[in-house]
Amino acid sequence: VVENTSNETPLDPLPSWNEGKSKTAILSFIKSSTDTTSNNFVPVEDRIAVFDNDGTLWSEQPAYFQLFFAIDRIKAMASDHPEWKDQQPYKAVLEGDMKALMASGERGLIELVMTSHAGMTTDEFQQIVTDWIATAKHPRFDRPYNELVYQPMLELLDFLRANAFKTFIVSGGGVEFMRPWAEAVYGIPKDQIVGSSIKTKFEIKEGVPQITRLPEIDFIDDKSGKPVGIWKFIGRRPIFCGGNSDGDLQMMQYTASSKYKSMMLYVHHTDSVREWAYDRQSHIGQFDKGLDEAKAKGWNLVSMKDDWKSIYTFD
């Protein structure tokens, strides 16, 4: 917490959040969990905060950004793979059939990237993602995808870290798609980014030890996979969980079962003008069971329209 020595108003750690229930709840949660005289005090090693990525830290419309990446990659590689013209799911990509692709979900996307990039080293793949994120542009905003991160959530991440929370991403997206750029954008180190993954193997290639990508799913970090991923990679129950969809419900439940007072924060996409408005009926980021449970249990529902002064860093 930033403090002034004078009588001026203390600096606001969440300047992009409008005054209201959500902002008050965050400030009060962090105050009580870091105050040694509070009943809700949490020792530093247990201050674990987990965040979903798509739709929670950056946008996910009109399709998961990883889908645009996959499409660009399949198109770039198509000349070396004439057989893809008649092979699904490549055919759908090359014909621009977005509907079929979106129906395959995050697992389908990971499989698409996995099968097309099998045999490549992880170093090579990392470079491909780095190049793509530096050059590709979002269709609506005509800006790099990693500029479509939510300014209020960046402030929340910073505020948590300033209070000795350790921040993690726990996303259904591919871990190798996130790590090359997420560290710089969110201030979250690569080893604190958990995601879906493929199997790899170690081998010496032309004299250089390498990790090579295999065409086999290792772990799907979605729904009940999220608390499993939290246990596997983090090894303790979080006390703060941020998400936006039914895919985050199980990690919300897991966080809610902490022995400490914990905070469950759902980002609700309510702003059809500055971002997108969707919830129960959406096939991307469907928020239905999670919305019911958040209301029933009094979890924190953040309305992007009402709670956020600005959405993006460029607003």
For a copy of itself, the closer CB: 40 or 253: 253
Size of the site for a copy of itself (CB under 8 A): 38
Binding to Ca ion (CB under 5 A) within 212-251 occurs at 244-245
Q: Which stretch binds a copy of itself (CB under 8 A): 11-19, 67-75, 207-215, 277-285?
A: 207-215
Helix runs in the chain, H state only? 21-34, 65-77, 90-94, 98-103, 105-116, 122-135, 151-162, 175-186, 225-233, 249-256, 289-297, 304-307
* Given 25, 136, 185, 211, the residue binding a copy of itself (CB under 8 A): 211
Q: Measured between alpha carbons, how far is residue 288 from residues 203, 258, 281 in Å? A: 45, 24, 8
CB 80 within 8 A of CB 116: no
For a copy of itself, the closer CB: 224 or 286: 224
In the complex, the smallest distance separating the C-beta of residue 47 from a copy of itself, rounded to whole angstroms, is: 11
Q: Within 13 Å and on the Cβ side, how many CA atoms surround 150?
A: 35
Residue with the closest Cβ to Ca ion? 55
Binding to Ca ion (CB under 5 A) within 254-313 occurs at none
Tokens, residue 152: 């209020």
Shortest CA distance to 109 belongs to which of 134, 74, 136?
A: 74
For a copy of itself, the closer CB: 15 or 189: 189
What is the bridge-based pairing of β-strands 208-219 and 193-205? antiparallel
Q: Which stretch binds a copy of itself (CB under 8 A): 97-105, 175-183, 263-271, 286-294?
A: 175-183
* Given 30, 33, 34, 54, the residue binding Ca ion (CB under 5 A): 54
Q: Using CB under 8 A as the criterion, what x/- string covers residues 246-275 for binding a copy of itself?
A: ----x--xx-xx------------------
* Given 32, 122, 163, 310, the residue binding a copy of itself (CB under 8 A): 122
In the complex, the smallest distance separating the C-beta of residue 6 from Ca ion, rounded to whole angstroms, is: 42
CB 257 within 8 A of CB 237: yes
Tokens, residue 167: 């921040």
In the complex, the smallest distance separating the C-beta of residue 273 from a copy of itself, rounded to whole angstroms, is: 37
CA distance 120 to 151: 35
Residue in this structure with the two tokens 């674990």, named with its chain if needed: 48
Determine, following the binding rule CB under 5 A, whether residue 196 of this chain makes contact with Ca ion: no
Q: Which stretch binds a copy of itself (CB under 8 A): 150-158, 230-238, 282-290, 302-310?
A: 230-238
Q: Measured between alpha carbons, how far is residue 187 from residues 157, 219, 221 in Å? A: 8, 24, 21
Residue in this structure with the two tokens 């950004």, named with its chain if needed: 65
For a copy of itself, the closer CB: 138 or 213: 213
Written as one string, the DSSP assignment of 166-215 is: EEEEEEEEEHHHHHHHHHHHH---GGGEEEEEEEEEEEEETTEEEEEEEE
CA distance 37 to 187: 30
Q: Using CB under 8 A as the criterion, what x/- string covers residues 57-96 for binding a copy of itself?
A: ----------------------------------------
* Given 55, 173, 229, 242, the residue binding Ca ion (CB under 5 A): 55
* Given 40, 146, 197, 303, the residue binding a copy of itself (CB under 8 A): 197
Binding site for a copy of itself (CB under 8 A): 45, 122, 166, 168, 175, 179, 183, 189-193, 197, 200-204, 208-211, 218, 224-225, 227-228, 231-236, 250, 253-254, 256-257
